[in-house]
Amino acid sequence: MTKRKRPAGGDRRPQAAPSGAWAVRYHPNARAEADAVPAHEQRALDNAVDKLAALGPLLAFPHSSKVMGDPGGALRELRPRAGRSPWRCIYRRIGDVFVIAAVAPEAQKDKAGFECSVAAAKTRLAEIEP
């Protein structure tokens, strides 16, 4: 497995993820969060991102799910290993691009951590939305 390059400090543009039919980008802070998870979980995250890139909005449960408690309903969670991973990618579609805004612990295991990551994702998405 090759190690991904980390984005230059201060760059607020979403960073590229694996290519497919749909564009998927990481917010720089989310990229750093993904790089911090254990290696075997990074592979699971990468596989889930590849599925999102291939299927886009057609990616269904159990691989993707609406974030509960999001009043607008635009935030989604990418669920590696069909939900068996303890990690989630919090993302939103902006135009034709899916932006991963945070990497969160699974809500059933760490509700406070998940909610904190959702709040961070909302803040990060507000930085880049037109």
In the chain, the number of structural domains is 1
Instruction: Quote the pTM value.
Output: 0.82
Q: The CATH number of the domain where 124 resides is what? A: 3.30.2310.20
pLDDT tens for 68-94 read 878 777 999 999 999 999 999 999 999
For the chain, list residues with pLDDT below 70.
Answer: 1-20, 130
Tell whether 26 is covered by a domain: yes
Residue 104 within any structural domain of the chain: yes
Burial of 92 (0-12, 13-18, 19+ CB in 10 A): buried
The range of the structural domain enclosing residue 116 comes to 15-128
Does 8 map to a domain? Answer: no
**Quick one: pLDDT at residue 19?**
53
